[in-house]
Chain A
Amino acid sequence: MSYAIQAENLTKRFGDFIAVNAITFDVKQGEIFGFLGANGAGKTTAIRMLIGLLSPTSGKAHVAGYDVFTQTENIKRSIGYMSQKFSLYEDLTVRENIRFYGGIYGLSDEHIKTKTDFLIRKLQLEDAADMMISSLPLGWKQKLSFSVAILHEPKIVFLDEPTGGVDPITRRQFWNLIYEAAADGVTIFVTTHYMDESEYCDRVSIMVDGRIEALDTPRGLKQTYAADSMNDVFVKLARPQKKEN
Chain B
Amino acid sequence: MKSFRGFIIKEFYHIFRDKRTMLILFGMPVIQLILFGFAIRNEVNDARIAILDQSNDYMTQELTQKIVSSGYFILVEQLKPGGDIESVFKQNRVKEVIVFEPHFAQRLLRENKAAVQIIADATEPNMANLLINYTSSIIRDYQAGLRGQAGSPVQINPEVKMLYNPELKSVYLFVPGLIALLLMLVSALMTSITIAREKELGTMEILLVSPLKPAQIIIGKVIPYLFLSFVNTSTILLLARYVFGVPFHGSYGFFFFEAFLFVVTALSLGIMISTIADSQQTAMMFSLAGLMLPVIILSGFIFPVSSMPVVLQIISHIVPAKWFLIIVKGIMLKGAGIEYLWKETLILGGMMLFLISVSVKKFKIRLQ
Contacts and interface: CB of A to CB of B under 8 A. Distances in A.
Interface stretch (B54-62, B105-113, B181-189, B203-211): B203-211
Contacts of A73: 211
A104 B202 contact: no
Contacts of B368: 54
A51 B6 contact: no
A76 B210 contact: yes
Nearest to B206: A87
A87 B203 contact: yes
B206 A81 contact: yes
Given A53-B209, A100-B10, A104-B6, A84 B367 contact: no
Interface of B: 2-3, 5-7, 9-10, 13-14, 17-18, 201-203, 205-212, 366-368
Contact of B3 (A51, A53, A90, A103): A103
B157 to A, nearest CB: 68
Nearest to A80: B209
Contacts of A83: 202, 205-206
Contact of A105 (B3, B17, B366, B367): B3
A52 interface: yes
Interface in A70-98: 73, 76-77, 79, 81, 83-92, 96
Given A53-B208, A103-B7, A104-B6, 12 more contacts: A52-B209, A53-B366, A79-B209, A85-B203, A90-B201, A91-B17, A92-B13, A100-B6, A101-B210, A103-B6, A104-B3, A106-B2
A199 B17 CA distance: 43
Interface residues of A, number: 29
A171 interface: no
A87 to B, nearest CB: 5
Dominant secondary structure of chain B at its interface with chain A: helix
B3 A106 contact: yes
Contacts of B17: 91
15 contacts: A76-B209, A76-B210, A77-B211, A83-B205, A84-B202, A87-B202, A91-B13, A92-B13, A96-B13, A99-B6, A100-B7, A103-B2, A103-B5, A103-B7, A105-B210
Nearest to A106: B3
A141 B5 CA distance: 25
Contacts of B202: 83-87
B207 A104 contact: yes
B10 A92 contact: yes
Interface of A: 48, 51-55, 73, 76-77, 79, 81, 83-92, 96, 99-101, 103-106
A89 B10 contact: yes
Given A85-B202, A91-B18, A104 B211 contact: yes
A163 B367 CA distance: 23
Nearest to B10: A100
Contacts of B9: 100
Contacts of B201: 85-86, 89-90
B209 A81 contact: yes
B365 to A, nearest CB: 9
Nearest to A88: B203
A104 B9 CA distance: 12
Nearest to A132: B17
A106 B3 CA distance: 6
A53 B10 contact: no
What 6 pairs between A and B have smallest CB-CB spacing? Answer: A85-B202, A103-B6, A81-B209, A87-B206, A104-B3, A91-B17
Contacts of B3: 103-106
A88 B13 CA distance: 14
Contacts of B5: 103
Nearest to B6: A103
Contacts of A77: 211
B10 to A, nearest CB: 5
A106 B7 CA distance: 11
A92 B3 CA distance: 17
Q: Which of B2, B206, B207, B212 has the most CB of A within 10 A?
A: B206
Nearest to A93: B13
Nearest to A14: B368
B5 to A, nearest CB: 8
Nearest to A160: B205
Given A103-B6, A106-B2, A91 B209 contact: no
A3 to B, nearest CB: 21
A126 B322 CA distance: 55
Contacts of B7: 100, 103-104
B278 to A, nearest CB: 12
Contacts of A103: 2-3, 5-7
A103 B7 CA distance: 8
A51 B366 CA distance: 10
A91 B203 CA distance: 13
Nearest to A97: B10
Nearest to A102: B6
Contacts of B6: 99-100, 103-104
B209 A89 contact: no
